[in-house]
Structure 1
Amino acid sequence: MSIKTDRRALLRGAAFTGAVGAIGGCERFQIRSVAANPSTDIDPKITTRSIAEAEKLQGISFSAAERGMMLDDIENRLTTLAGLRLMDMPNGLAPAMVFNPKLPRKKISSQKNRLSLPLISRALPENEADIAYASVNELGHWLRNGSLTSAQLTDLYLRRITKHNGELNAFITITEGLAREQAAKADVDFSNGRDRGPLHGIPYGLKDLADTKGILTSWGATPFKDRIPDSDAEVTRKLRLAGAVLLGKTACGAIAYGDQWFGARTRNPWNSDEGSSGSSAGSASAVAAGLCGFAIGTETLGSIISPSERCGTTGLRPTFGRVSRAGFMALCWSLDKVGPICRTVEDNAAVLSAINGYDADDPGAARVGFTYEPLDLLQMTVGYVPEWFEEGDESDRKALEALRSLGITLKEFPWPEIDLSALSEIVQVEAAAAFSDLTLTDRDDELAWQAKEAWPNSWRAARFVSAVDYIQIDRLRRRVMEAMNSAFDGFDALIGPHFAGGALLATNATGHPQLALRAGFSQRPTVSLFDEPIQKQTFKAPRGVSLWSDLFEERKIIAIGAALEKTLGVQDARPPAFS
């Protein structure tokens, strides 16, 4: 046997026996293998029978002759894969293929970086809770007219965090010293006439997926609970330059899934018997409980929208590529987005104006400005799908009628009739690749959540999605992009229940923005992460509705959403235990 053959055999063996330490002296990890599970009776040798059994996992069938012919090719691929698995691929290393939501002939309207928010006339309240629950625009007004200092506001939020975080588990790390330092600097800036913009002096929470230099960034997961980065995420840097005050790192479900992190489950302020949903669990919980002025969340497939529904906040998932993800944990490179979670709709415009912008360190970043200023709603056309509202609840229907009362033209939206279910595999496969090391080294066992629906099981199953089928899923994604592009022709926005008709999955895959805002309340029982009732007793729970727009047209859904919020008149209600 030649040296080349020996090496190939060794590499192939490594894929099954975990003997990777013998290759080039590499001892980075031991690959999960049959040999690592000696109780199994599976023959580690690849045979035509192995191929026949594997065909069942792919829903295909070959003849005996065809299996025999491909045996050498499969062995060679295993050799290649074993070597590939030895390569160091840090989480921030993005694939060479980069998703672009813009179709080749799609025209994106030019926007200048300009922000126009309503003038504030309300005087500073005497009650601390009234200050804590104020909008970003109101807080900024009081800071600028000298009614309030950033140091006072920061102290107020830190006191509330001290009082309530033990019940909510909304923060993993509280950066008290840094917050006081940044607040003092903001006050000096104001006294010297320097104004950094709408977030200057406003305390906020940052989801613990965003790197903060010298500050714990744990991704909510046991394997990374001591992780301290040596640089800031681009959004962290932009918020610092905008003068915002970092109160701490908000909790997220471990590796961006759910509301269970390595220390606890993050709770819903409206009902602390249930989780706040995920994965931007801490950001939504903290904003809803008045523990910060605003927060930053991320979404891959519902992680801003879902906790905003559960906690009654307003969350904006921007167009894919509008906000840099550099320095954020990567879960799914072609789906991940960063966006704000706030208490009022227009606060989202203030935050987006600060974090928007091209970044060369994010391969998917777009070069598009952000304009927000008054728009003529009477000239707008909003689409709706009648079936969605027939199947929804009274809050959904009231939101639709409130929109109609504003004089906005409502028309039936031509929602694409396409089976979208395969698109969910994008998250499963890319996440399995992003955290391949945890699967191959058995460190996925360290994650607190080990249910059938949890990451460890999903990542293992994702390894049986073929590359060929994954490309077909990507082609389906392009078909959905084309269909959505056509559907939005002639419409400024689409309104509907958050999860109706597969809209959340479809628009995440196409990159379209989504705004979730509070529409009302309902009486419902305490529910699980997957909305399954776990108690018979009911409580008053917030209900939301969503607005979608065409790519990079967040200004439209924010303007429509702000008017809708005012008309509905339910935004000022607070969780009783935290008011």
Structure 2
Amino acid sequence: MRKLYLVLLAIAIFAGGMAVNELLTKSDLFTAAKVLGLDFLDDDEVELMLEDVQEQTETLEKLGKIEIDNDISPALVFNPVLRPSQLPASSIVSAPASAPNALESELNTPLEWASVKQLGAMLKSGKTTSRKLTEFYLDRIKEHDPTLHCIITITEERALAKADEMDRELAAGTYRGPLHGIPYGAKDLLAAKGYKTTWGAKPYENQTIDVDASVIEQLDAAGAILVAKTTLGALAWGDVWYGEMTRNPWDTTQGSSGSSAGSASAVAAGLVPFAIGTETLGSIVSPSTVCGTTGLRPTFGRVSRYGAMALSWTMDKIGPITRSAEDAGVVLAAIANYDERDAHAIRAGFQYEWPQAPAQGTRIGYYQSVMDGDYPFHDQDSIVLKTLRGLGYELVPLELPDDPDIGFILSVEAAAAFDALTRSNNDDQLTRQIRNAWPNTFRTAHFVPAVAYVQANRLRRQLMQDMDAMLTEANVDVYVNPSWHSNSLFITNMTGHPAICIPNGMNEEGTPTSITFTGKLFGEQEIIDVAHAYQQATKWDDIHPEAF
């Protein structure tokens, strides 16, 4: 039987006031077609459609009543890889071959601002213990979270037990690697056994999911210690969750942006050495920019999302928020193992190496038409280009392809992920009820026909090909672009390319600005290397909010 996707919109329009057994009229379908912008239907064609549309309406009504768990992904799987040569040569994942070097002198940096590498060296050399570090950060969380509202749950019992275990292992000569005994926080859309996983949303405030997310499993195996579950805007939108608004440590009258709001705020305020965030369309880059942290968004599919809330199955990515690019690489090396439980996972290894000084003449692209223009943070970004040239990089101008208007891919997938919430009207419990917040977006997305969703994904494939051609023609592994510019952020979240965002100055309000380095698929080592070289040559990653 011929099934017409037009009916997706027709049922959405009339579901509120029409019983399933109430027949549609030709006028109803003409109205639906008008909303869709269709003008190819005449009276006879609509007459012919009526019976099929009625049957489809009944089918969709039944479909809407089926409960589907959030962790069930669609049979359609997104893969950013266009050809095998884009994959790493090895699927083996490894941390740096050498442990952090012992500190040549006593640590000059206050403990709350110490890097993962510094803390690892202290633990390895016996200058501190995991128990002491864990208690130190737990105390800081308890002291400062009432101001920042960046923590949903403190996992103290789990943390202290793990810290004691790591100390016993180290005393016995067992060393798990650079994260052995290091505390961290995880965004509260990642499940952790024995604790709530609230997704930052009132309807799920008391939800428990009795598994450890794959990322938490892998960090546990690496010896890292989960001390807290950090806030996120409700269902990964913004910085407002069911408890409060997460605050920016640089200006606590302001929010920390979203949706990895708590992870960035906690790292920036020295409450944890690193945290795990997620990004669908800027949720690592945006809070990292506002809070002055280093945020690494990995290649799509490189990090397993098992045990994580699904918002967009074809766009969600998990990555570290840290104080330095070097630390971001250490954390990524611990969480990039292939996991078949994520239907979109890609078998791609990451053999992380401690960053080295750049070779003279290494080519880096820069987004010329934007960065040569006039925009709010032009001065800071121009200094970045000058610094890179001074480090020996050759800057190559390039232009990104035009980005098609396909942002509703995210809206449609998110609406599907939370269809039951919308149909139950429990979305009314979400704190934000404005035009751009999820409740309205979910409802609006029901008015996107399936044909348009498929067409948008065809344009997405073309965008992937255009990006690949651009990077190949420019002959660069990395390009630099302003973090604020939505064009690159949108395109690379659609194509799955990795990016790292690092602080590069301060704005007039006294809060941080940032710059972003974007790489080829699975090119995390290259963007980390460039970001590290810049951070070694500048001071911005060493500046911290004075109030903390």
Contact 1:321 1:366 in 2 (8 A): yes
CA distance in 2, matches of 1:76, 1:173: 48
**Structure-to-structure mapping, 1:435-514, within 5 angstroms:** 435-489=418-472, 490-500=475-485, 502-514=487-499
- Letter in structure 1 aligned against 2:405: S
**Structure-to-structure mapping, 1:220-369, within 5 angstroms:** 220-369=200-349
Structure 1 pair 108–199 and aligned structure 2 pair: CA distance change class (3 A): same
Residue equivalent to 2:47: 68
SS at structure 2 position matched to 1:292:
coil
CA distance in 2, matches of 1:199, 1:66: 65
- Letter in structure 2 aligned against 1:468: V
Deviates more, 1:247-256 or 1:369-378: 369-378
CA distance in 2, matches of 1:267, 1:488: 38
Residue equivalent to 1:79: 58
Contact 1:495 1:548 in 2 (8 A): yes
Asked if residue 383 in structure 1 is aligned to residue 365 in structure 2, the reply is: yes
1:413 alignment partner, one of 390, 394, 398 = 398
- Letter in structure 2 aligned against 1:455: W
- Letter in structure 2 aligned against 1:553: G
Give, in angstroms, the shift of residue 575 of structure 1.
Answer: 0.5
Give, in angstroms, the shift of residue 561 of structure 1.
Answer: 0.5
CA distance in 1, matches of 2:106, 2:86: 45
Give, in angstroms, the shift of residue 69 of structure 1.
Answer: 1.1
2:135 alignment partner, one of 151, 155, 176 = 155
Paired positions, count: 527
Deviates more, 1:230-239 or 1:367-376: 367-376
SS at structure 1 position matched to 2:531:
helix
Residue equivalent to 1:567: 537
CA distance in 2, matches of 1:241, 1:93: 26
SS at structure 2 position matched to 1:377:
coil
CA distance in 1, matches of 2:511, 2:398: 29
Give, in angstroms, the shift of residue 56 of structure 1.
Answer: 2.0
Give, in angstroms, the shift of residue 350 of structure 1.
Answer: 0.5
SS at structure 2 position matched to 1:319:
coil
CA distance in 1, matches of 2:192, 2:15: 33
CA distance in 1, matches of 2:513, 2:381: 8
Give, in angstroms, the shift of residue 119 of structure 1.
Answer: 3.6
> Could you give the per-residue CA deviations for residues 310-345 of structure 1, whole angstroms, max 9, x where no partner exists?
100000000000000000000000000000000111
Asked if residue 50 in structure 1 is aligned to residue 28 in structure 2, the reply is: yes
Q: TM-score, normalised by structure 1?
A: 0.88
Contact 1:380 1:492 in 2 (8 A): no
- Letter in structure 1 aligned against 2:429: E
2:174 alignment partner, one of 157, 181, 194 = 194
Question: Share of identical aligned residues, percent?
Answer: 43
Structure 1 pair 402–34 and aligned structure 2 pair: CA distance change class (3 A): same
CA distance in 2, matches of 1:468, 1:405: 51
Give, in angstroms, the shift of residue 45 of structure 1.
Answer: 4.6
Structure 1 pair 301–135 and aligned structure 2 pair: CA distance change class (3 A): same
Aligned CA-pair RMSD: 2.0
> Could you give the per-residue CA deviations for residues 84-106 of structure 1, whole angstroms, max 9, x where no partner exists?
12222100000001000001464
Give, in angstroms, the shift of residue 175 of structure 1.
Answer: 1.0
CA distance in 2, matches of 1:412, 1:166: 47
Residue equivalent to 1:4: none
Contact 1:202 1:245 in 2 (8 A): yes
**Structure-to-structure mapping, 1:106-185, within 5 angstroms:** 106-111=85-90, 112-116=92-96, 119=101, 121=103, 123-125=105-107, 130-185=110-165
Give, in angstroms, the shift of residue 568 of structure 1.
Answer: 2.1
- Letter in structure 1 aligned against 2:31: E
- Letter in structure 1 aligned against 2:53: I
- Letter in structure 1 aligned against 2:436: E
Structure 1 pair 419–555 and aligned structure 2 pair: CA distance change class (3 A): closer
Structure 1 pair 458–501 and aligned structure 2 pair: CA distance change class (3 A): closer
- Letter in structure 1 aligned against 2:503: R
SS at structure 2 position matched to 1:471:
helix
Give, in angstroms, the shift of residue 204 of structure 1.
Answer: 0.3
- Letter in structure 2 aligned against 1:47: T
Contact 1:357 1:366 in 2 (8 A): no
CA distance in 2, matches of 1:327, 1:310: 28
CA distance in 2, matches of 1:119, 1:406: 25
CA distance in 2, matches of 1:88, 1:379: 57
Asked if residue 430 in structure 1 is aligned to residue 408 in structure 2, the reply is: no
- Letter in structure 1 aligned against 2:75: A
Give, in angstroms, the shift of residue 404 of structure 1.
Answer: 1.0
CA distance in 1, matches of 2:541, 2:409: 35
- Letter in structure 2 aligned against 1:516: C
CA distance in 2, matches of 1:269, 1:16: 43
Residue equivalent to 1:547: 517
Residue equivalent to 2:78: 99
Give, in angstroms, the shift of residue 120 of structure 1.
Answer: 5.3
> Could you give the per-residue CA deviations for residues 389-426 of structure 1, whole angstroms, max 9, x where no partner exists?
1234211111111111111111111321x24332x111
Contact 1:388 1:501 in 2 (8 A): no
- Letter in structure 2 aligned against 1:96: A
Contact 2:23 2:54 in 1 (8 A): no
Gaps of 5+ in 2: 1-7
CA distance in 2, matches of 1:397, 1:567: 15
CA distance in 1, matches of 2:71, 2:260: 20
Structure 1 pair 399–219 and aligned structure 2 pair: CA distance change class (3 A): same
Deviates more, 1:111-120 or 1:178-187: 111-120
Give, in angstroms, the shift of residue 155 of structure 1.
Answer: 1.1
Structure 1 pair 264–106 and aligned structure 2 pair: CA distance change class (3 A): same
CA distance in 1, matches of 2:359, 2:498: 19
SS at structure 2 position matched to 1:367:
coil
Gaps of 5+ in 1: 1-11, 18-30, 37-42, 524-538
Structure 1 pair 16–414 and aligned structure 2 pair: CA distance change class (3 A): closer
Contact 2:102 2:124 in 1 (8 A): no
CA distance in 2, matches of 1:110, 1:499: 33
Give, in angstroms, the shift of residue 290 of structure 1.
Answer: 0.1
- Letter in structure 1 aligned against 2:457: D
CA distance in 2, matches of 1:265, 1:122: 42
- Letter in structure 2 aligned against 1:388: V
CA distance in 1, matches of 2:321, 2:154: 18
